[in-house]
Amino acid sequence: MKLSILVFALILTLAYQFDTWGQEPTESVPKVEEHSQTVADARALGRAFRTSAERVLPSVVTIIAHPKRENPVGSILDAVRRPDRDPSDSLGSGVIVSADGYILTNHHVIEDAEEIIVEMNNGRRFQAVNSMSDPTFDLGVVKVEADSPFPFAELGLSEELYVGDWVLAIGSPFGLEASVSAGIISSKRGHERLSELVSGQFLQTDAVINPGNSGGPLIDLNGRVIGINTAITSRTGGYQGIGFAIPIERASWIKDELLQFGRVRTGFAGVRTAELTYDDMVALKLPDQTGCLVKVVTPGYPAALSGLQPNDVITQFNGRSIRYFSDFAEAVQRSQVGEPLGLTIVRQGNPVELKITLIERPFK
């Protein structure tokens, strides 16, 4: 009897195994609905990229800056060898921001140029009738003229973006016109290493920015310009995942200053600040890591005259909270010159109120 039961159980087991032989575990098979939704989401994002790029591409230009020539014979020979583009030319990107032909780009793209050629997305070329720039902010403005209005990009607000939001970088990397790359906003803070080259706050992105992208627009998924691509951080000079753009609010302000005054008028305090580290917070007995650390105070300038000292921590300026060192630099640059402004600091653990009167930044 026991033997019969065992034989019967064995037959049932073998029959089950035969029936399920070759079948994959049901847990590893994705549901059709989930897969379809994933594909739909990916296609929707792709459409958003495509639509955004199409909105702004007609206004994105390639900028060819011919440098000043000291040897006219060499210039003639260069023109014979390659009449369209010389190896010594500066090649960059730009974006048209008005129907009458004003273009935003980078200072380093048009610096010391004798002639600037603007090539549009449709192949049309224009010679710039005017250009001006500011090296401190690495922003330039180029003017072209035509009988009909130019296509121009809509400007957005970088302040509305959050870290993690999708953006597109558009330009002419390595001379490849109308190249589009996607990424996210990685950070909206300033960076001390970058501040040694150019001034102010930046949008950090992992969208691919290569040589030639400089001056091109960084746009949101509505196709609005929220920044001007300006630099990459790389050991090789190529893309390694970290790029920077000038926020469009600051770029617009710089453009207006250049057009109205021929230069950018900014406040100047005569102080060097740095990011507040965790070690600084502990050593200075601070409640948190908010503020910027005063490193150097230049004698005879507003910061020194206000009583500011090294190792002070700036937490407020002119009613504005200072969370990072770049917040203070940005606030000083765009504040009223010649008027006493409030400055809140922490010194040896105690809050101190000061008054500082800024001067205009000395011309470099």
Catalytic residues: 108, 138, 214
Count CB neighbours of 51 within 10 A. 12
Do residues 103 and 217 touch, judged by C-beta distance below 8 A?
A: no
Gap between the Cα atoms of 225 and 209, Å rounded: 16
Q: Tell me how far CA of residue 256 lies from CA of 259, 260, 268, 361, in angstroms.
A: 5, 6, 19, 17
Distance, CA of 265 to CA of 337 (rounded, Å): 9
Torsion of CA 80, 82, 88, 90, to 10 degrees: 130
Decide if 53 contacts 170 (C-beta within 8 A).
yes
Q: What is the 3-state secondary structure (H, E, C) of the chain?
A: CHHHHHHHHHHHHHHHHHHHCCCCCHHHCCCHHHHHHHHHHHHHHHHHHHHHHHHHHHHEEEEEEEECCCCHHHHHHHHHHCCCCCCCCEEEEEEECCCCCEEEECHHHHCCEEEEEEECCCCCEEECCEEEEECCCCEEEEECCCCCCCCCCCECCHHHCCCCCEEEEEECHHHCCCEEEEEEEEECCCCHHHHCCCCCCCEEECCCCCCCCCCCEEECCCCCEEEEEEEECCCCCCCCCCEEEEEHHHHHHHHHHHHHHCCCCCEECCEEEEECCHHHHHHCCCCCCCCEEEEEECCCCHHHHHCCCCCCEEEEECCEECCCHHHHHHHHHCCCCCCEEEEEEEECCEEEEEEEECEECCCC
